[in-house]
């Protein structure tokens, strides 16, 4: 199963984001395809925080706009929202120790641990920091072919 990282969701939602059109089309294709795709619960929370952040956008999304977007994605019958299990914490511990992860990088490690614990075979992301987690294959679908 493919999981989608926060940054792809932000680009898909924000019309003023540099890669909006491509990200929007990618998410639309995933949402309309019957093949399961996933988003970590943490990424949905992070999405809300990023798109409503007044210092990041000239006109940030309103809370209602952010929740409407999350609701629209959740209507996709093929979407799986991934949650931590009792096994995620040991996976997170292993990732942080092997990758020498500290400070804010722990948030990416938490998403990686959630993906690994839930059987995700590839995380789609624009963030190269996920390369610190060799057990999780990553792909940037926003790069031009």
For the stretch 75-106, pLDDT in tens is: 999 999 999 999 999 999 999 999 888 998 89
pLDDT reported for residue 48: 98
Within its chain, how far is the Cα of 41 from the centroid?
A: 9
pLDDT of residue 134: 82
In the chain, the domains with their CATH numbers are 2-139 (3.40.50.1010)
- For residue 69, pLDDT over 80 is answered with yes
Q: Is pLDDT above 70 for 145?
A: no
Contact in structure between 10 and 27 (CB atoms under 8 Å)? no
- Counting Cα atoms < 13 Å in the Cβ hemisphere of 3 gives 29
> Contact 79/29 with Cβ under 8 angstroms?
no
Sheet holding 37-40, edge to edge: 79-82, 37-40, 2-4, 122-124, 138-139
pLDDT grade, residue 63 (50/70/90)? very high
* Residue 28 Cα distances to 32, 58, 62, 84, 136, angstroms: 6, 25, 22, 26, 24
Q: Would you say residue 21 has pLDDT above 80?
A: yes
* pTM over cut 0.95: no
**Cβ atoms of residues 111 and 91 within 8 Å:** no
110 phi/psi in degrees, rounded to 5: -65, -40
β-pairing, 122-124 vs 79-82, is unpaired
């Amino acid at each position: 199963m493919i999981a989608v990282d926060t940054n792809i969701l932000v680009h898909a939602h924000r019309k003023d984001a540099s890669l909006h059109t491509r990200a929007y089309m990618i998410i639309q294709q995933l949402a309309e395809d019957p093949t399961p795709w996933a988003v970590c619960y943490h990424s949905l929370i992070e999405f809300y925080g990023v798109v409503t952040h007044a210092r990041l956008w000239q006109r940030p999304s309103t809370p209602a706009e952010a929740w409407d977007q999350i609701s629209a994605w959740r209507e996709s019958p093929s979407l799986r929202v991934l949650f931590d299990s009792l096994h995620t914490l040991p996976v997170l511990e292993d990732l942080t120790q092997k990758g020498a992860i500290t400070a804010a990088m722990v948030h990416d490690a938490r998403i990686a641990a959630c993906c690994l614990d839930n059987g995700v075979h590839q995380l789609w992301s624009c963030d190269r920091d996920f390369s610190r987690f060799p057990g999780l294959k990553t792909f940037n679908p926003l790069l031009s072919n």
